[in-house]
Amino acid sequence: MNRLLSLLLASLITGMVTAQNAAPKYVIDRGRLIFHENIDKEQKKLYTQPGSYIRGYIPITKDETFNGQVRFAIIDEVDNMQMEIEMDSVFKDNEKKKYLKGLEILVKQAGQGVKSRLFTAALVPQMVKGFEASMELDRNNKGIDPVVRENHYWVGKTLVDCFSYPENKGVPASKDILTIKYLQLYPERTMAFLKTNLNYPKRDSLIAAEARRDPRKVYDFAAANDALARYIKIHPDPVVKVVAEMASSKSGQLYFPFIDEIYRGKISFDEIDKVKGNDLEYYRLMVKVRMQHTARMIQRDTPMERKALVERMENKARQFYISQINGLHNSPDPVRFKVLEPLQPHELYYLCVLGEDEIYTSSYRGVFKRIIQRLKGTPTDSLFMTMNFDYFRKFIKMAAAYNELDTLLKLMPDSNATVLMKSFMFGLERNTSLVNVEDAVDVADAYSSIFEKNKTLAANMLEEARQNYDRCQRNGDPNGQKVYFIEKSLFESADSTNHTDISKILGIPPVYQVPYERLLDTAGRIVQQVFFYGDEDKDGQNSYANFMTLFRNKADWAITENPDFVTIKSTKGKPVWIFANKPLYGEDDPDAKAQQKLRAYFDDKGLEPSIYIHRGHSYHVKSTLDQVTPSARIVILGSCGGYNNLNEVLMISPDAHIISSKQIGTRTVNEPILNAINTSLRNGRSIDWVPMWQELSKQFTGESRERFDDYIPPYKNLGAIFIKAYRGVEDEE
C-alpha cells in the first residue's frame, strides 16, 4: 500500500474514533436521547475499546482498506444517518424513533452476526447501504422488498427486522423472498423448514432436489413418525422412493453407501442383506463399489453419496482392522496381522489411505509388506492402475513418510517409476481450489519425507515442480502458476543451505517463529486451553494425570480447580494461564459439559486462548476443533494431523502454527515439548521453533528419539504451509 493511502486511512480511522466518542454537533431531543445512546452502545461493542480486555465483535484483518470500509460504514455512516434522522424537519417524533430503533437493530445484528460467524464483515457495508435505501422507500410509503430482493439473505433478513415495527408494507413480500434465499443459502435446512411448512408450494421439487444433494437428511426425516415422513413415503420421485424404503428398514444406514447402485438397479437390498452382518464381506463390497465409482468419475459420471461410501469404508477400516492391529502391537506378527489374511492388495490399499490418522508406523509397515507379498511379483505400478489411481498421491506420501517409497518404486520398471513420479507432480492445478487442496498438500508432505531420505528423487521432484510451473505459465493458467510456485518454493526451502526465507517469498506470516506479542491477549496474558476426554479405557484420565505432573508441587505454577476444570497460572515471570477441562466419564458426556462450562467462563472473563492442545484419541479431535477460535496461534494436534484436521484448523485460524505426530502421542515427548514452550513464554521469549527443536532432540535417545522424530514442527509441516500460502495468494486476489 502506498504511503499516501496509508496516511489517508490512518486519518480516516482517527476521525472515526473521534466521531464515535465525541459529543454530536447537533441538538438531540431529550425524548429521543435514549435511542441515540442505544445505538452508540451497540457501536462500542463492535471494536475493542482502549483499555478494555474485551474483544470487539468485528475482527481486524490484514487488509487495511477493507477494515476502513467496514468501520466507515458501521460507525461514520450510521452516525451520519442518526444526525439526518434527528435533524429532518419532515419526520414526526414517532417516525424518528422508529428509524433510530431500526438503526440500533441494524448495528446490533451486524455485530452479533459477525461475532457468531453467521456472515462475514464484508456484508456490513451492504447492510448500512440497504438500510438507507429502505428508509427512503419507507418514508415514501413504498415497500422495502426491492432492496431485499437485490441483496444477500442476511442483509435482507436484517432489513426486515429493522422495518417490522411498525411493519413496512413490503415486509410480507420480503419474507417470501427471504424464504427462497434462505433455502438457497442453506439447502441443508430444507427438510427442517418443510417439517413446519409442509404446505409450501414448492415442496415436491425441494424434496426431490434434497434427496440428490443429501439423501441422508431426507432419510432422517422419512424415519420419523409425522406428516412430513408420511408425505416423503408417497413422493413419486424415484430417488426419494429409494430413500423412503431405506428409512423403513432397521438396516437403513447400512444401505446408504450403495444408494446410487440401488437407484440404478445394480445392487438390490437382498444382496446387501447377505453381507451386512459380515465385516469382511461388507468391507469387500464397499471396496468393489468404490472402485466402480472411481472408474465412473473418470468418465465424468458422478455417483450419489460418494462421501457416505468413503466414510463407511473409513469407519470399517479403522474399527475392524486398524484398531485390532494397533492394539496388538506387542504381539507376534502372525497374531497381530491375522485379521488381514483374507484381504487382497486393493483392499489393503484402502486400509492405508483411509486410516492415515490412526495407523501406527509398525501397523502401516505390516500392511504394506502384505500388499507387496500378495502382488506375487506383479510390478507395483499395476496396483495403481487397478485402483484407477484413486488416492495414489496419498499412498505415495505415506510410503515416503514410513520409508517404504524406495521399495515401492524398485518393484516396478524404472521407466514406469519415472512416469509415476511425474504423474505424482503433474496436473495438481486441476483439482486444487480453496475448498480442496488435499492432493497438493500430499505432494508437499511427501517431499518433506523424501528430501531427508532420497536426495536424487527430491531433486527430480524439484525439477518437475519447476517444469510444471513453466508449463502453466506458457498456458496462461493462473491457478497452476500459484500451485507450482508454492510447491517449488517449499521444495527449495527444505534445503537449509539455500537460506530461503519462505515467509517472505510466499507472503505469509513467519513459519520459523511465533512472536511473543502475537500470543498475548489484550490484557497482556498468554492463555492456553487443553482438551481432555473421559474414556472407557482410561486413556484420557491417564493423560490428564500425566499432564498435571508438569505443574503440581512446582514453585513456578499455582493450581486452582473446581469439579469441571483446572486453572494453572505462572507465579514467576510473565503471566501464562493454562486451563484444562477434567476428563470426566459417564452418561450424557460430562467431559463435553465441562468444556462448555470452561467456554462460558472464558466468555464471562473476556479470555481468548492463543494456544490449543488436543489430548485424546483421534475420534475426539472433531469436538476439539469445533471449539478452536480464530485467536489460535499454536495448535498441538498430536497424532491427529492428517489433511482434514490441518485444513479445518487453518480455516478457523489461517496463521496457526500446528504441531502433529505421525504416530500416537506419547508422554515422553509431549511433556518436554510443552515444558519448552511454557519456559519460553514465562521468560517473555518468542517461540523459535528451529533452535527449540534442536535442543529438544538432544534430550531423546533410542526409542524415545524415534518417537520424537515422528513429531512434525510447524516449519517442517510443508502441507500446512502450502495451505497458508495458497489461501493467502487467493485472498489477495
Taking 70 as the threshold, does the pLDDT of residue 640 lie above it?
Answer: no
The dihedral through the CA atoms of 329, 335, 337, 339 has a sign that is: negative
SS3 360: coil
Smallest Cα–Cα separation from 659: which of 700, 704, 708, 694?
Answer: 708
Tell me the percentage of the chain whose pLDDT exceeds 70: 94
Dist CA 528 CA 578 (whole Å) = 5
The CATH architecture assigned to 514-716 reads 3-Layer(aba) Sandwich (3.40)
Q: How confident is the model at residue 616 (pLDDT cuts 50, 70, 90)?
A: confident
Strands of the sheet containing 576-581, edge to edge, are 557-561, 565-570, 576-581, 526-531, 611-614, 634-638, 657-661, 711-712
Distance of alpha carbon 50 from alpha carbon 327, whole angstroms: 55
Reduce the DSSP state of residue 710 to 3 states and report it. coil
Name the more confident of 475 and 356: 475
Dist. CA 151–CA 142, nearest whole Å: 17
- Rg of the chain in Å (alpha carbons): 29
DSSP SS3 for 299: coil
Helix residue ranges, H only, 475-589 = 478-493, 502-506, 516-519, 539-548
**Would you say 517 and 568 are in contact if contact means Cβ atoms under 8 Å apart?**
no
Read off the pLDDT of residues 151-160 as tens digits, 9 standing for 90 and up.
999 999 999 9
Q: What is the DSSP letter of 560?
A: E
3-state DSSP helix/strand/coil percent for the chain, to nearest 5?
A: 65, 5, 30
pLDDT score, position 643: 66
Spatial separation of the C-alpha atoms in residues 213 and 201, rounded to whole Å? 20
Q: Is the pLDDT of residue 414 over 70?
A: yes
Q: How far apart are CA 229 and CA 223, in angstroms?
A: 6
Q: What is the mean pLDDT of the chain?
A: 91
d(CA 110, CA 124): 6
3-state class of 530 per DSSP? strand
Q: What cell numbers appear for 189 in the block?
A: 435446512
Cβ 680 vs Cβ 692: under 8 Å: yes
User: According to CATH, where is 3.40.50 located in the chain?
Assistant: 514-716
What is the structure's pLDDT at 19? 38
Distance CA 733, CA 730 (A): 5
For 280, residues 6+ apart whose C-beta sits below 8 A from its C-beta are 342, 343
Span 490-508, mean pLDDT? 88
Concatenating the DSSP letter of every residue in 573-634 gives SS-EEEEEE----STT-HHHHHHHHHHHHHHHHT---SEEEE-S-GGGHHHHHTT--TT-SE
Q: Answer whether residue 4 shows pLDDT above 70.
A: no
Type of residue at 370: R
Q: Which residues does 35 contact at the CB level (< 8 Å), separation at least 6?
A: 97, 100, 101, 104
Q: Which position has the grid cell 477400516? A: 317
At residue 329, the pLDDT reads 83
Q: pLDDT grade, residue 14 (50/70/90)?
A: very low
Mean pLDDT over residues 528-534, rounded? Answer: 95
CA 207 – CA 217 distance, rounded (Å)? 10
In this prediction, residue 13 carries a pLDDT of 42
Cell of 718: 510443508
Kindly state the average pLDDT of the residues 2-12: 41
Cis peptide before 172 (omega within 30 of 0): no
Alpha-carbon distance of 690 to 511, in angstroms, equals 10
Segment 469-479, tens digit of pLDDT: 999 999 999 99
Q: What's the pLDDT tens digit per position in 418-456?
A: 999 999 999 999 999 988 899 999 999 999 889 988 999
> Which tens digits make up the pLDDT trace of 538-553?
888 998 999 999 999 9
**Percentage of the chain lying above the pLDDT 90 cut:** 75
Q: List the end-to-end C-alpha distance of the chain, in Å, as a whole number.
A: 15
Q: Which residue has the cell 494397533?
A: 326
| Contact status, residue 98 vs residue 32, Cβ threshold 8 Å | no
pLDDT digits (tens, 9 = 90+) for 584-606: 999 889 999 999 999 999 999 99
Going by their DSSP bridges, the two strands 526-531 and 611-614 should be labelled as parallel
Q: Summarize pLDDT for 366-387 with one digit per residue, the tens.
A: 999 999 999 999 999 999 999 9
* Residue 215 and residue 239 in contact, taking contact as beta carbons nearer than 8 Å: yes
Q: CA–CA distance from 329 to each of 80, 178, 196, 360 (Å)?
A: 70, 57, 53, 9
Residues 6+ apart with CB under 8 A from 649: 625, 628, 632, 635, 637, 656, 658
Q: Is 532 helix (H, G, I), strand (E, B) or coil?
A: coil
DSSP label of 164? B
Output the pLDDT for position 53: 60
Question: Strand 526-531 to strand 513-514: parallel, antiparallel, or no bridges (unpaired)?
Answer: unpaired
pLDDT, average across residues 315-327: 93
pLDDT at 16: 38
pLDDT of residue 23: 57
Cell 480464530 belongs to 630
Q: Check: CB of residue 409 under 8 Å from CB of residue 417.
A: yes
Q: Say if residue 614's pLDDT is above 80.
A: yes
pLDDT (tens digit, 9 = 90+) per residue, 222-263? 999 999 999 999 999 999 999 999 999 988 889 989 999 999
Distances in Å between the alpha carbon of 526 and those of 57, 511, 613, 677, 682?
20, 20, 14, 12, 9
State mean pLDDT over 82-106.
96
pLDDT at residue 642 in the model: 65
Model pLDDT for residues 273-304, shown as the tens digit of each residue: 999 999 999 999 999 999 999 999 999 998 98
Backbone angles phi, psi at 570, to 5 degrees: -65, 140
Predicted local confidence at residue 262, as pLDDT? 95
Cα–Cα distance measured from residue 457 to residue 469, given in angstroms and rounded to the nearest whole number = 18
**Residue 730: is its pLDDT beyond 60?**
no
Query: In the structure, what pLDDT confidence band is assigned to residue 1 with cuts at 50, 70 and 90?
Result: very low
* Rounded-to-integer distance, Cα 51 and Cα 695, Å: 39
